[in-house]
Amino acid sequence: MGIKRIYYGPFNNSKSEEFYSTVLEKIKNGKEENFYYILPNGKLLTTYREKIIESLGGFLNLNLFTFDDVVKEILKDENHIEIDENTKKIILTKIVRESKLDYFKNVSDLSGFIKTLGNIIGEIKRSIVIPEEFIKLSPKNILYKEIGSIYMEYEKYLKDRKLVDREGQYILAVKKLKENVSFLSNIEEIIIDQFYNFRPIELEILKEISKSKIDVHINIPFRKVIDLGIIKNTLESLKEIGFTLEKMDLGKENKLEEVFFLEEEYEEIENINLNIIQAATMDLEIKKVFEKIKNKINEGYKYSDILIVPMDDEYKEKIGKRSIVEKLPISIQIQDKMINNNFILEILELFLMKINNNKNSILNRFQNKYFINNQGPNLEYDIYPFLKKIDFDNLEELLEEISKKKEFELETDSIDYLIYELEEIEKEVSDLKLENTIKNYNQYIRNLMERYSIGTKINSIMRYSEEKFYIEMKSYIRLYEILEEIEILSEILGLISIDDYYELLLSKLEEEITLIPGNAKGIQILDLIDIRGIDYKIAYIIGLSENNYPNIEEDNFFINERNYKNLKSMNIDVKNYTYKLENEIIKFSTLISCVKEELNFTYSKGIDDESIASMFLDEIIRICEKDIKYIDVSFEYMIKENIDEITTNKELSDYILKLNYKDNEVNKDYISYHNSIYPEKFKRIQDKIDSDYNRSLKTFTKYSGILSESREITRELEKMHKNKVYSSSYLERYINCPFSFLMGRIFKVDEYIEEIKEYDPMLIGNIYHSVLKDFYELYRIKIKEYVISDKDLELEDKKDFILDLILKYGSEDGLDLNSRKSQLLVEDINNKIFNFIKNDIERIKNHGLIPIKFEQEFGYEQKMAIYEDNKELLLNGKIDRIDRTKDSKSIIMDYKSGSSGIANLNSIEEGYSLQIPIYLLAEKDNNPVAALYGIINQNEFRITLGVLGETSIITNRHGGKLESMEELENITKNTEKIIFQIERKILNGEFPIEPYNCPDYCLYKDICRYRKQVEIEI
C-alpha cells in the first residue's frame, strides 16, 4: 500500500509550493507520465500549466488534471457515446411522454420540468444511487415513486443504446477501477491540491485508488481557527478510506480569512488596505471600480495584478461593456448570448410559425430582416401595420382575407407583393414536418440560410457596426457547427416531434455564448469558485448587496431541505442551508486570503439607500470597522469635480463645461472644437435652457403647462372631479408627470403600442394576486397553526393546488393554455408563486405574524374620507394583504411582480409615493406599524417603513425604520396635505412638463420632447 496522507493547514501555507516543486522536479527528470496533479478548476490548471511551461521551456504532455479529466483518462479506451444535457432532456421528454404519470401529469410536458428532472437524476447519480436502490429506499409516496420510475426508464434507455451521460462516466470509471486498477501501474504518485470537499463519486474514485500502491497526497489549505463542519466531514470521509491526517500549525491567529464568520471578537486583525464602495446604482458602482483601476495602472501596477470578482452574472455583462468604454483589457471574453442575435431569433420564429401558426408568429415574420424578401415595400412601416388591422387567426385565414380583393389601404403593388410573400411562407411552413429526424430539420435550416443568403445579409445589415458584425458572423459560423454536433443524435433518437427539435435547438442556443476574445494578461475577471491557489495584489469584489449574495436557496422541488431527512436516508448527497452557507464562507475566506495589498468591497445601495449590504460585508465591517475606508458614489459622480476621476472623453467634456459654467467664461475656440466632436451636445443643452427659461416666465408660453387662463377649462375640470373618489394610482400619475396625467386622465389621449408583447404583464399580475388571495384564504387556519404551534403545513403537497389556480385564472384572463409558450409561462408562474409562498411562510413564522385579510377593499361599500378646512376628499383602494402580530398590530403588504414601482421612506416623506401611506390611513383603526412589498419574481420581501420596537421585522439595518409611532402619524398627516395640494393643482389646470419620473416607454415623449437632465453613460 502506498502513502495516503492529508495535509490540513492554514490558507496560503507552504504545502502548495512544495507540491509544485515536486512536480517540477519530476518533469525535469522525465517522469511526467508517472504522476497525476489534480486541481479543482480549469483556471488554476491553466495557470499551473503556463508556469511549468514557462519554467521548463515547453512541455505538451503534462498530467495536470481536474477530476473530469481523470475520468476521461480512465475511460479513454472505452467504447461508448457521451450525451450532453440537451440530449438528456430529449430522452427524458420521450420517457415522460410515454409514462403514465399522476403526480406530475399537469407539468410533465413543460421544458422547465424536464430540465429540473434531469438535474434531480444527475444529483442521484452523483451520489452513486442506482435506480433499484432508489426505489427500494425511498418513502412509499407517489412523488418518490414517479421519480424512481422515470429514473429506471432513463437508465434502461441509455443502456440499451450504449449511451452514457456525464454522471454515468464517473460511475463507469469507478466500476473500471474496481475491476482492475493495474492499468494505472505507471502512476507512482497522485497530488491533489486546493480541495476542501469531494463529491461522493470523487470519493469513490479516491477509495479505489487508495487500495493501490500509488502514493496519494492531498493538501487542504483552508484551516480556520474553528473548523467548519464541511471540512470536518471531508477529513472524516478521507480517514475512513485510509488517509492519515497531518495538521499544520496556524501560527499567530490574527488573519482575517481565519476568523471570518466566527463569533469571537479579535482586537487586532492582520489585514491589508480595506475599502467599501457604496454606490447609488450598479452602473456607478462599476464606473468607480474602473476609475480606481486606471489610477492603479498609472501607479505602475500591471493589469494582471488586479482581480475583479462579480457576485452576479448581471455585473459580469456590465463589466464587459464598461471595459469597452474605458478601453481597458479584461481576461474574460466579452459575452453576448447567441440567442440574442437577430437572425438566430428569426430561425426560431420559422419553427414557431409551424408550431403556433397564429397572428403573432405571422406578424413577427414581417418584422424580420433576414428571412424575408427585401425587394418589396417597406415592411416595418407599410406591410406590418396593415396586417395588424386585419382580423385573422392563422396563415390560411390571412390569405383568404386578402384574396377576397377587398378595398385595402395599401397600394396594389404592395398587395401583390404581400400575397407572393405569404404564399412563399406557406410553402416553407408546409415543408416543415410535425415529425422528422434531427438531420432533416437541420437540413431545412441550412437550405433556408442558403436561399436567403444569410451570410451576405449579415454583412449588409451590420456593416455600420464592426462589433455587431463580428458577433453575428461568429454566430452564423457557430450555428453550422451546432447543427453538426446535434446531428450525431439523429440515428440514436430517430423521429422526433417538431416541438422536441425546437426545444433542443433553443436549449443549445441559450447556452451558447458569442465572444469577443479576452486578454489573458488583462484585468482578471473570475467567479468566486475559480479563485483558489492564485495570488493577486488588488481585488474588487463587486455586487455585495443582500439581494445578490449569498444566493443559497434550495435547489429544486425535490432536492431541498424539506426532503433532507428522507434523501439522506437514501444515501443521496443533499446539502442543507448550513452546508451551503459554510461553502460560501470558505470560498469568500479564500478570496480574502489571496489578495496581498488592497481589498475593495462594493455594492449598490440604490438611489434612496433601499438596498442593504450582504451579511458577508457586514461581517467584514464587524471585524475590521476601524480599518475600513468608505467611498460613497452618488449621482453627482456622473459629472466629476476632480480631474483625477476622469477616465473617458465624455467625462472630460462634462468637466470642462462645468468649469466654464462656474467661471462664467466660455472659450470660443474650445466650443468650436468641442462641437465638432459632440455635434448634438450643445444643441441639447441649449434646448434644455430655452425650455427651463420659458417655464420660469410669468407670462403664458407653450412651456407653461397651465390651463387656468380660461375659466371655462377650470370649470370643466371641477365638473369632472365633482364627488371624485381618488385612488393612489390616479394621484401618483399626477405626481410622476402632470403632463402625462393631462394627456391620459383628462384628455384620454392614448396610443396603440406598436410592440407586440407575448404576454401582458397586467395579466400575469392579476394571476399572481388572485392565486395568492385564494391560497392564503383557504389555508389561513393551517398557516396560523404552523406559525403558533409548529403544526406541519405540508406545503410541498400544495403545489398542484397552486397550479390548478393558475390554470383557472389564466384561462379566465384569456391565456391560451394550449400554446407551448403559455405552458412554459404557467410553469414559471407556478415556480415563482410556490417559492414566494414558501419563503413568506417561513418569514412570518420567524416573526410570529398571521395573515388575516386579503385584497382588503376600502372606500367602496363604506366611504373613506380625509378632511382639510371642512373640505372632504374621498379615497378608495385595495390592500393586497394585512398581517397581524401576536399583540394585534397590523403590517401591510403590497404584492409586486418585479422591483419597479417600489417606494422607499424618502419618496414617501417627500410626497412622491402615496400608495403605502394611503393604505396606512385606511387601516389606522387597526394599529398599523409597518408596511412592506412582496416582490414575487425576485422572491424577496422589502421593508418600506416601520416603527422600531413595534415588530421584529424592523431592525436598525432597514432604511425605512422609524423611531416612534409619532413619526408614522406625521407621515400620514403629511400625505393628507399632499393629496389636497394635488387636487388643487388639478382643478387649477396646472399641468407643467416637470416629470418626477420620466420613463423611456412614455407614450407622450414625442409630444412633450422632454429629455432627462442626466443620463448614465455605460
pLDDT of 666: 58
H helix intervals, 310-379: 313-326, 342-355, 359-365
**Greater model confidence, 345 or 191:** 191
Question: In whole angstroms, what separates CA 771 from the centre of its chain?
Answer: 24
Q: Is residue 489 very low, low, confident or very high in pLDDT (cuts 50, 70, 90)?
A: confident
Tell me the three cell numbers of residue 496. Answer: 422526433
Grid cell at residue 666 = 466660455
Residue 375 confidence (pLDDT) above 70: no
Give the 3-state secondary structure of residue 514: strand
- Highest mean predicted confidence (pLDDT) among 365-369, 457-461, 647-651: 457-461
Can you give the pLDDT at residue 663?
A: 57
Q: How confident is the model at residue 885 (pLDDT cuts 50, 70, 90)?
A: very high
* Residues, the chain: 1018
Nearby residues of 314 by Cβ (< 8 Å), 6 or more positions away: 282
**From CA 265, how far away is CA 750, in angstroms rounded?**
62
- Residue 1014's pLDDT band (boundaries 50, 70, 90)? very low
Taking the complete model, does pTM exceed 0.85, yes or no? no
Distance between CA atoms of residues 856 and 877, nearest Å: 8
Q: Do residues 521 and 329 lie in contact, with contact meaning Cβ atoms separated by under 8 Å?
A: yes
For β-strands 244-247 and 334-337, DSSP reports them as unpaired
Cell of 585: 464562507
Report residue 601 as a C-alpha cell. Answer: 468591497
Q: Binning pLDDT at 50, 70 and 90, where does residue 752 land?
A: very low
Question: Lowest mean pLDDT: which of 134-138, 326-330, 626-630, 690-694?
Answer: 690-694
pLDDT per position as a tens digit, 604-632: 887 666 678 888 998 888 888 888 999 98
Tens digit of each residue's pLDDT (9 = 90 or more) over 272-310: 789 999 998 888 899 999 999 999 999 999 999 999 999
Neighbours of 44 (CB within 10 A): 19
**Enclosing H/E stretch for 220:** strand 215-223
Give residue 731's pLDDT: 94
pLDDT at residue 754 tops 60: no
Q: How confident is the model over 495-537, as pLDDT tens digits? A: 888 988 888 888 888 777 655 556 778 899 888 888 888 889 9
Structure-model confidence comparison of residues 464 and 845, the more confident one: 845
Percent of the chain as helix, strand, coil, to the nearest 5: 50, 15, 35
Highest-pLDDT range among 44-53, 83-92, 769-778: 769-778
Report the pLDDT value the prediction gives residue 855, as an integer from 0 to 100: 94
Task: Please give the Cα distance from 256 to 589 (Å, whole number).
Answer: 8
Q: What is the pLDDT of residue 755?
A: 40
Q: What is the pLDDT of residues 973-998, one digit of tens each?
A: 999 999 999 999 999 888 887 787 77
140: region left, alpha or beta (phi > 0 left; psi from -120 to 50 alpha)? beta
Please report the pLDDT score of residue 865 as a whole number: 94
Label the pairing between strands 961-962 and 940-947. Answer: parallel
Lowest mean pLDDT among 409-423, 476-490, 873-887: 409-423
Is the pLDDT confidence value at 318 over 90? no
Where would I find the beta strands (DSSP E) of 239-324?
244-247, 273-279, 306-310
CA distances from 375 to 301, 403, 918, 999 (A): 56, 21, 58, 37
pLDDT of residue 14: 87
Quick: pLDDT tens for 186-234. Answer: 888 999 999 999 999 999 999 998 888 899 999 999 988 888 899 999 9
SS3 747: coil
Strand order in the sheet with 725-726: 725-726, 871-875, 864-868
| Per-residue pLDDT at 679 | 63
Distance CA 878, CA 728 (A): 10
**In the prediction, which pLDDT does 47 show?**
84
180 secondary structure, DSSP code: -
Question: Which residues does 634 contact at the CB level (< 8 Å), separation at least 6?
Answer: 280, 284
pLDDT value at residue 436: 92
Question: Can you list the alpha helix ranges (DSSP code H) found in 865-947?
Answer: 905-909, 915-922
CB-CB contact of 554 with 561 (8 Å): yes
pLDDT greater than 90 at residue 783: yes
CA-CA distance, 530 to 478, in Å (whole number)?
A: 27
pLDDT of residue 1013: 43
Tell me the backbone φ, ψ of residue 489, rounded to 5 degrees.
-85, -5
Question: Residue 1018: its pLDDT value, please?
Answer: 43
The pLDDT, as a whole number, for residue 111 is 67
Cell output for 830: 407556478
Sequence-separated contacts (24+) of 486-490 with Cβ below 8 Å = 486/86, 486/87, 486/438, 486/442, 487/438, 487/439, 487/442, 488/81, 489/83, 489/87, 489/90, 489/438, 490/437, 490/438, 490/439
What percent of the chain has a predicted confidence (pLDDT) above 90?
A: 34
| pLDDT of the residue at 478 | 86
The answer to whether 600 and 540 have CB atoms below 8 angstroms apart is yes
State the pLDDT at residue 563.
85
Tell me what pLDDT residue 756 has.
37
**pLDDT the model gives residue 775:** 95
Residue pLDDT, tens place only, 114-144: 888 999 999 999 999 999 999 999 998 899 9
Please tell me the distance from the alpha carbon of residue 191 to that of residue 187, in angstroms, as a whole number: 11
Start-to-end C-alpha separation, the chain: 61
C-alpha 409/C-alpha 402 separation (Å) is: 12
Mind giving me the DSSP string for 573-599?
A: ----HHHHHHHHHHHHHHHHHTEEEEE
Which of 418-422, 601-605, 792-796 reaches the highest mean pLDDT?
A: 601-605
Please report which confidence band the pLDDT of residue 69 belongs to, taking 50, 70 and 90 as the band edges. Answer: confident
Q: Is the pLDDT of residue 376 over 60?
A: no
Alpha-carbon separation of residue 613 from 591, 808, 809 (angstroms): 18, 40, 38
State the pLDDT at residue 1017. 45
Q: What is the pLDDT of residues 6-53, one digit of tens each?
A: 999 998 888 999 998 988 888 888 887 888 899 998 888 888 888 888
Average pLDDT over residues 736-745: 88
Instruction: Please return the burial class of 673, using the count of CB atoms within 10 Å of its CB with bins 0-12, 13-18 and 19+.
Output: exposed
pLDDT at residue 655 above 80?
no
Q: If you average pLDDT over residues 178-187, what whole number do you get?
A: 80
Angle at the Cα of 463 from the Cα atoms of 460 and 469, rounded to 5 degrees: 100
For 127, half-sphere exposure in the C-beta direction (CA atoms, 13 angstrom radius) is 21
Share of the chain above pLDDT 70, in %: 85
